Amino acid sequence: MSAFEFHLDAVDSSTSGRAGRWLTPHGVVDTPAFMPVGTLATVKGLLPAQLREAGAQMVLANTYHLALRPGSKIVAELGGLHRFMDWQGPILTDSGGFQVFSLAQMRKLDDDKVIFKSHIDGSLLELSPERAVEIQEDLGADCIMCLDECPPSGESIEKIKNAVDRTTRWAWRCRDAQKRTDQALFGIVQGGIHPSMRQRSAEALLPIDFPGYAVGGLSVGEAPDLMYQTLDCTVPILPTGKPRYLMGVGRPQDIVEAVSRGIDMFDCVMPTRNGRNATAFTSTGIVRLRNAAHQRDDSPLDAECACTACTRFSRAYLRHLFVAKEMLGPILLSLHNVAFYQKLVRDLRTAILAGRLEEFRSNQLARWNGHS
């Protein structure tokens, strides 16, 4: 796709970490990159200008949820997702594949399609590979995802094999259904925590020659060490010259470990979800602001953060907002957490460019572990 170019600026010599630049129709994404999640065309509680101020370059929205409301045709009529949500940077849309996993009790799945029973009003939503691509073309995101089947953690090897093969067949159908040339369609590698299944999935997707590849089906209940082992056997199979996206991850330490293994892109709801629940990620570890220890604490939330929450308000004030159930509390903490994640990936990129990712990794993990 001529609208997209991915360039590697540096590869760290002591790890597999990569610093790159991904050119999209709506701007450049510096990698490693973290995408705040805006499932319903909004990152909860934050204005687009605040996301930009926090350092976000690209955001994520969701096919399944936007197909239910307001409907992809309405978004298209109103000028597409960028205009609809007033975000002029790059956007990625998930295909709805994660909902195949997360809404397992509300859907029927066969080789042809998934039929969901809406969690809103009980109406039926049919999602085939072709329909998933059609919806995403209506939405107009820069990066769109193939429909896939994400099996639960601990599923039998036979069911994982079936999910892998179905994901491959659906990937071909998605590629054949794509009409727009200004959207990068990513294939998704599945396979649970089984190296043979990950290899089976990746090698089956490579002939399709997608402009980027995602690793799905992790952070669904497996232990962190198993996630890292799965990345160790999966990432080296993926093309060097294309973006690698780890879906739905995650914790700051998981991002550091995954970048060290060659992952370029991430998304997760944790920054805003935890922010709404009075939990902050900081350079020295997690801070739970409801704790009484912060009641008279005049210090900033994170002395190393330049966001509004950290430069203008104290921990005591932020705690007060949550205790008083004022909406400003979740807004400020969501803003801080998004800014923290953006600083983390910038710091990782700087470390890669300087050839010191392993030093950064060990130092940062030690700081977090010392304050867990």
What is the SS3 assignment for 244? strand
What whole-number distance in Å separates Cα of residue 132 and Cα of residue 144?
Answer: 9
Strands, DSSP E only, in the chain?
A: 5-11, 18-24, 27-31, 33-36, 59-62, 91-94, 107-109, 114-117, 124-127, 143-145, 184-189, 212-215, 244-246, 265-268, 279-282, 285-288
What whole-number distance in Å separates Cα of residue 281 and Cα of residue 359?
Answer: 21
Q: Are 222 and 153 in contact (CB under 8 A)?
A: yes
Phi-psi map region of 271: left, alpha, beta (phi>0 left; psi -120 to 50 alpha): alpha
**Nearby residues of 242 by Cβ (< 8 Å), 6 or more positions away:** 6, 210, 211, 212, 213
Q: Are 117 and 59 in contact (CB under 8 A)?
A: no
Catalytic hit among 138, 142, 264, 267? 267
- What is the residue-wise DSSP string for 245-291? EETT---HHHHHHHHHTT--EEEESHHHHHHHTTEEEETTEEEETTS
Catalytic hit among 12, 94, 142, 264? 94
Annotated catalytic, 94? yes
What whole-number distance in Å separates Cα of residue 28 and Cα of residue 185?
Answer: 17
Vertex 54: Cα angle to 48 and 55 (nearest 5): 95
What whole-number distance in Å separates Cα of residue 122 and Cα of residue 277?
Answer: 29
Of 191, 193, 186, 192, which is closest to residue 171 (Cα–Cα)? 186
- What is the residue-wise DSSP string for 322-354? HHTT-THHHHHHHHHHHHHHHHHHHHHHHHHHT
What whole-number distance in Å separates Cα of residue 98 and Cα of residue 247?
Answer: 9
Which residues are catalytic, by number? 94, 267
